[in-house]
Amino acid sequence: MGSGKSLIVVIFLLNIFVVNFSIAQTKHAFQFDVNVTDRMKDINVIVKKNIDNFYLNLEDTSQIFNLFELVNGNKISVPSQISLGTSNFIYWRMDSSTSSGNVRSFYLEKVDKKTVETERKVQFTDNGKELLFSVAGSPVFNYRYATMPVPDNVDQIYTRSGFVHPLKTPSGNIVSRIQPPDHYHHYGLWNPWTHTEYRGEEIDFWNLNKGQGTVRFSDIINIAHGDLFGELTVSHDHIIHPGRGEQVVLKEEINYKLWAADPQGEYWILDVVSKYNCTTKYPLTIKEYRYQGFSLRGPEHWHDSNVKVLTSDGKDKSTGNATRAQWIQVTGPGNERGESGVVMMTHPSNFNHPELLRIWPTGANNGKENVFINFNPAQDRDWVMKPGNTYTMKYRTIISDRKFSDSELDQLLDNFVSSPEVIQSHP
């Protein structure tokens, strides 16, 4: 991985003691009150609170702060994690199972490190080609930074790096696929642009067989793990004329954040945030086209006959293509056991939100192995990316062994869009 691999070690050491901090050396607990609304009563909610006003002392490693909720007089430990950066935040999971009324109070207290478990539930390992992320020992996704070889007798032009696969549910069911014979350029969970224009020339970063463009992993910017989430930030190069005077015209920084979001372990949450910057003095125009952007190719055992597709507007596999949606859910049989599913959500800050969907409709690919879903911000209009500007796209993916109700998905979407209001009380 070149310079990126050495950076892993540095970032890992900076993050390993991220929970060791003190607040003005007080022994009293800080209280955080959360107003519980009807839109968050039935789900586990990720809560975010800015702690820039807290004094952080990373040198004191003998004590840490433990977050707990007082329920019926009992202290219930709450999964939490500190994120340090330009702004500092504490995140925690507010479980629906411990609901105690319209206002729930959480307390942050200083305790001896030896008395609190600090298990990093979300972990990663590096096998020399991929970074493998897991929750409580269960594999969730692999990020491929090395170039993926193509199957035998397939043109090398289809090789690429920088994608997620396999994507697994808590039971180990796979919900992604790469290099299927019908589309060798499909790569699990990935997001290239199909119809673009650079200096008057058409460039296709999606259909690799054209030889016009490709996307490659460039570097690892940050990697960390913890009790509540793990994250990976990488950079990708969007390259024109690969192998023949190639040039990087667009730089993409992608942050993957994997949440241990459900105490029962029925689902995982993976947030994907892409930031784009032109690398030359010329703009790159994403031209109007029916498929491009954040996409998932479903597993080979999903067909018309055994999957259900539902969008936030009530559309299905036959009627959802080229319609707008806040979320889309696909459920089907697991390749290992039971039922499996995947949900994709879009964020209001995205260009042309809510984006139009590209769904392979009923009957596509002869009705077999035909699950493909895509949020496309440029399906009905051009999008000009200009030098000097940063363009951000945010998506949430939920991987599960169950089907969510419409109400649950609307609540989960609310939590993706905004964190609940937190009122901080000092002792």
Look up the domain containing 97 and give its range: 20-117
User: Is 15 among the domain residues?
Assistant: no
Q: Please state whether beta strands 63-71 and 356-359 pair in parallel, antiparallel, or not at all (unpaired).
A: unpaired
Task: Please tell me whether the overall predicted TM-score, pTM, comes out greater than 0.85 for this model.
Answer: yes
Mean pLDDT over the full length of the chain: 90
Mean pLDDT value across residues 204-221: 98
- Confidence (pLDDT) at 1: 52
Instruction: List Cβ neighbours of 264 (8 Å cut-off, separation of 6 or more).
Output: none
Q: What is the pLDDT of residues 254-295, one digit of tens each?
A: 999 999 999 889 999 999 999 999 999 999 999 999 999 999
Q: Please state whether beta strands 356-359 and 422-425 pair in parallel, antiparallel, or not at all (unpaired).
A: unpaired
Instruction: List Cβ neighbours of 209 (8 Å cut-off, separation of 6 or more).
Output: 155, 157, 158, 184, 185
- Note whether 186 and 316 are same-domain residues: yes
- Whether the predicted pLDDT of 74 surpasses 80: yes
- Note whether 143 and 180 are same-domain residues: yes
Distance CA 96, CA 390 (A): 37
- If one compares 416 and 26, the residue with the highest pLDDT of the two is 416
Q: What is the pLDDT of residues 336-388, one digit of tens each?
A: 999 999 999 999 999 999 999 999 999 999 999 999 999 999 999 999 999 99
- Confidence (pLDDT) at 71: 84
- Note whether 95 and 243 are same-domain residues: no
Closest by Cα among 405, 165, 183, 372 to 270: 165
User: Is 231 among the domain residues?
Assistant: yes
Q: Which residue, 92, 117, 142, sits at the end of a domain?
A: 117
CATH of the domain at 294: 2.70.98
- Note whether 391 and 253 are same-domain residues: yes
Distances in whole angstroms, Cα of residue 26 to Cα of each of 110, 118, 400: 8, 21, 42
Under the banding of pLDDT at 50, 70 and 90, the label for residue 70 is: confident
- Note whether 35 and 106 are same-domain residues: yes
- Note whether 112 and 157 are same-domain residues: no
User: Is 364 among the domain residues?
Assistant: yes
- Confidence (pLDDT) at 250: 98
Sheet of strand 138-144: strand arrangement? 122-126, 130-135, 138-144, 163-167, 189-190, 294-297, 372-376, 356-359
- If one compares 233 and 72, the residue with the highest pLDDT of the two is 233
- Confidence (pLDDT) at 424: 78
Q: Please state whether beta strands 196-198 and 247-259 pair in parallel, antiparallel, or not at all (unpaired).
A: unpaired
Closest by Cα among 365, 355, 362 to 293: 355
Domain count across the chain: 2
- Confidence (pLDDT) at 119: 64
Both tokens of 143, joined, read: 């990020």
Name the 3-class secondary structure at 3: helix
User: Is 388 among the domain residues?
Assistant: yes
Closest by Cα among 140, 146, 250 to 198: 250
> What counts of helices (H) and strands (E) characterise the chain?
2, 28
- Please give the full DSSP string across 3-70, using - where no structure is assigned: HHHHHHHHHHHHHTTTT---STT--SPEEEEEEPPGGGSSS-EEEEEE-TTSPP-TT--SEEEEEEEE
The answer to whether 19 touches 81, Cβ cutoff 8 Å, is yes
Distance CA 64, CA 22 (A): 7
Q: How many CA atoms lie within 13 A of 234 on its CB side?
A: 24
Q: What is the pLDDT of residues 80-105, one digit of tens each?
A: 998 888 898 999 999 886 555 688 88
- Note whether 280 and 138 are same-domain residues: yes
Under the banding of pLDDT at 50, 70 and 90, the label for residue 312 is: very high
- Note whether 212 and 355 are same-domain residues: yes
Closest by Cα among 335, 325, 285, 49 to 171: 335
- Confidence (pLDDT) at 73: 83
Mean pLDDT value across residues 54-65: 69
Q: Which residue, 98, 117, 136, sits at the end of a domain?
A: 117
Distance CA 146, CA 161 (A): 6
User: Is 8 among the domain residues?
Assistant: no
Q: Which residue, 117, 139, 174, sits at the end of a domain?
A: 117
Angle at 158 between CA 155 and CA 160, to 5 degrees: 140
- Confidence (pLDDT) at 261: 93
User: Is 9 among the domain residues?
Assistant: no
- Note whether 38 and 56 are same-domain residues: yes
% of the chain residues with pLDDT over 90: 75
- Confidence (pLDDT) at 111: 80
Both tokens of 384, joined, read: 């000009």
Name the 3-class secondary structure at 364: helix
CATH of the domain at 111: 2.60.40
- Confidence (pLDDT) at 59: 67
User: Is 425 among the domain residues?
Assistant: no
- Confidence (pLDDT) at 117: 62
- Note whether 84 and 134 are same-domain residues: no
- Note whether 86 and 224 are same-domain residues: no
Q: What is the pLDDT of residues 122-157, one digit of tens each?
A: 999 999 999 999 999 999 999 999 999 999 999 999
- Whether the predicted pLDDT of 5 surpasses 90: no
Closest by Cα among 217, 193, 412, 165 to 294: 193
- Note whether 210 and 233 are same-domain residues: yes
Mean pLDDT value across residues 1-16: 40
- Whether the predicted pLDDT of 26 surpasses 50: no
User: Is 12 among the domain residues?
Assistant: no
